[in-house]
Amino acid sequence: MASEPEQREIILQATYACIARWGVKRTSLEDAAREAGVSRATLYRYFGSREQLMNAVVAWEYRRFFERLIDDVRDAGSLAEVMELGLQSARKAITEHEVLQMVLQTEPALLEPTFSAIGSTTRDRVAQFLLPYVLEATLAPGRDPEAVADYLARMFLSYMGAPGRWDLTESDQVKSLVEYELLGGILAS
């Protein structure tokens, strides 16, 4: 028999599969329970309501997204490189994520409560991930490494979701964005 964390993971994976197949509105608790091979009572024991289950699935996939992103940039050798690789990888993952794109087009309000609840935590985690790269970089005089990491995390998350005039699939554009707009004035010249 699966442990409690394993059972929860099975339910999340199963619910995600149902959402990918039918969308959020058409995924019922019965569908998720059937896909997970558990009873509705078991599903309720872990999540309490359909809304809690859907929010948990969004948070679960959000966490997995950032775990994959960290894997993509793990070998970056500099602050500029981690920003460049991260922006390209994140934007590609967002645009190619079929379930995310479906939910954004059909039920974007579903994402709002979860993203609001985990937004500052995500920013803090991204800043903590960037901090060692910031500490290795030669910063302009008077720059506080923690403030720089926080700023870069905010900018990274912003551009990741809404790149504006920048084409994040083009390496030259990403390099210019990072060099001139994100790190310009932060690194010593």
Q: 64 and 5 in one domain?
A: no
Angle at 140 between CA 134 and CA 144, to 5 degrees: 55
CATH number of the domain enclosing 103: 1.10.357
* All residues at 6 or more sequence positions from 188 whose CB lies less than 8 Å from its CB, including other chains: 138, 139, 140, 141
Residues 67 and 114 in one domain: yes
> Which residue spans within 104-160 are E strands per DSSP?
none
Q: Are 187 and 138 in contact (CB under 8 A)?
A: yes
- 75 DSSP assignment: T
Asked if 53 and 137 count as a contact pair (C-beta separation under 8 A), the reply is no
pLDDT one-digit tens code per residue, 120-163: 788 899 999 999 999 999 999 999 999 999 999 999 988 988 88
Nearest to 90 by CA among 99, 82, 102: 82
Confidence grade of residue 119 (pLDDT, cut at 50, 70, 90):
low
Question: Is 70 exceeded by the pLDDT of residue 54?
Answer: yes
- Is the domain of 138 the same as that of 71? yes
- Give CA separation, 10 vs 15, 46, 58, in Å: 9, 11, 15
Residues 39 and 65 in one domain: no
Q: Which of 38-52, 85-99, 115-129: highest mean pLDDT?
A: 38-52
Least confident of 14-28, 89-103, 164-178: 89-103
| Opening angle at CA 143, ends 138 and 146, nearest 5 | 95
Burial class (CB in 10 A: 0-12, 13-18, 19+), 121: exposed
Same domain? For 10 and 41 the reply is yes
Q: Quick one: 116 and 88 in the same domain?
A: yes
Task: Report yes or no on 187 lying in a domain.
Answer: no
Query: Residue 161 has what pLDDT?
Result: 81
Containing structural domain, residue 94: 57-182
What is the average per-residue pLDDT within 84-98?
89
Category of 164 on φ-ψ map: left (φ > 0), alpha (ψ -120 to 50) or beta: left
Half-sphere exposure of 14 (CA within 13 A, CB side): 20
Total domain count, the chain? 2
**How confident is the model over 170-180, as pLDDT tens digits?**
999 999 999 99
| CA-to-CA dists, residue 30 to 33, 46, 64, 103, 144, angstroms | 5, 14, 25, 20, 52
Mean predicted lDDT score pLDDT of the chain: 89
CATH number, position 30: 1.10.10.60
Mean pLDDT across 21-37: 91
Rounded percentage of the chain residues whose pLDDT exceeds 70: 93
Of the listed ranges 52-66, 69-83, 108-122, the one predicted with least confidence: 108-122
Claim to verify: residue 68 and residue 124 sit in the same structural domain: yes
> Do 43 and 131 fall into the same domain?
no
Q: Of 50 and 109, which is predicted with more confidence?
A: 50
Q: Clarify whether residues 129 and 152 are in a common domain.
A: yes
Cβ–Cβ < 8 Å for 82, 76? yes
**Residue 78 within a domain:** yes
| 8 and 70 housed in the same domain | no
Domain match, 137 and 88 both: yes
| 106, 23 contact by CB (below 8 A) | yes
> What is the pTM assigned to this prediction?
0.80
